[in-house]
Amino acid sequence: MEIAKSILLVDDDAPLARSISEGLRLLGFEVSWVSDRAQAVATLCANHTFDAVLLDLDLDGDRGEDVVAEVRATGGGLPR
């Protein structure tokens, strides 16, 4: 099984996101971080290819599940 190389981290808690990103980078992953639903949808719909998405399910007034639904509805790319 191949290890994912690029990860999109979606989290509105900046200190936590920095900590998670740093840990993942130490493990050899490339991490891109966005902090809200709009940025997540835009990033996933802009031809960015990620091997995995780590998605906070409670995004400051938004639900993380809605990110997935919106990306799918707009034809954006989600890892399988």
pLDDT tens string 12-71: 999 999 999 999 999 999 999 999 999 999 999 887 789 999 999 998 888 888 888 888
Q: For the domain covering 6-74, report its CATH number.
A: 3.40.50.2300
Residue 1 above 80 pLDDT? Answer: no
**Cα-to-chain-centroid distance, residue 76:** 13
Confidence of residue 2 (pLDDT cuts 50, 70, 90): low
Task: Indicate the pairing of strand 62-63 with strand 58-59.
Answer: antiparallel
Tell me the mean pLDDT in the region 7-15: 96
Q: Where are the domains of the chain?
A: 6-74
> What is the per-residue pLDDT for 63?
87
Report the pLDDT value the prediction gives residue 78, as an integer from 0 to 100: 79
